[in-house]
């Protein structure tokens, strides 16, 4: 069985139902804010690269969020995590690998 070590959560921007914008960690969004109706600010996923250019921890994202990520970025993440995939893999297959399905 493969053991995954999650990196520190990235900071993302979310907006509440009243339009108030906040910065929260990805984990806090997944666990708390998403259930309360908060939404990601447009482009928030595109800006999730760390300050030193490291890749986002896609293990913390939902299927809907991963569908917005480019295939090349998913492949780069899988390469970094040393997870093998067929070169002809489609986005759905890449997402399944990230989600462990």
Regarding whether 56 and 14 lie in a shared domain, the answer is no
What does the alpha-carbon distance between residue 13 and residue 45 come to, in Å, rounded to a whole number?
A: 9
Regarding whether 27 and 61 lie in a shared domain, the answer is no
pLDDT tier for residue 52 given thresholds of 50, 70 and 90:
very low
Secondary structure of residue 72 in the 3-state scheme: helix
Report CA-CA distances (Å) from 85 to 75, 76, 88, 90: 8, 11, 8, 10
Long-range contacts at 88-93 (CB < 8 A, ≥ 24 apart): 91/67
Regarding whether 37 and 54 lie in a shared domain, the answer is no
- Helix ranges (DSSP H) in the chain: 26-28, 63-66, 71-80, 91-99
Which of 25-34, 38-47, 80-89 is least confident? Answer: 38-47
74-98 tens-digit pLDDT: 888 888 888 899 989 999 999 999 9
pTM across the whole model: 0.48
Regarding whether 54 and 30 lie in a shared domain, the answer is no
């Amino acid at each position: 069985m493969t053991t995954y070590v999650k990196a520190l959560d990235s900071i993302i921007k979310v907006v509440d139902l009243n339009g108030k914008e906040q910065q929260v960690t990805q984990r806090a969004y997944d666990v708390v804010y998403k259930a309360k109706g908060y939404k990601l600010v447009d482009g928030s996923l595109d800006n999730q690269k760390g300050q030193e250019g490291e890749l986002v921890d896609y293990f913390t994202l939902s299927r809907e969020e991963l569908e917005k990520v480019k295939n090349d970025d998913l492949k780069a993440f899988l390469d970094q995590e040393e997870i093998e995939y067929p070169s002809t893999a489609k986005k759905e297959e890449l997402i399944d690998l990230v989600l462990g399905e």
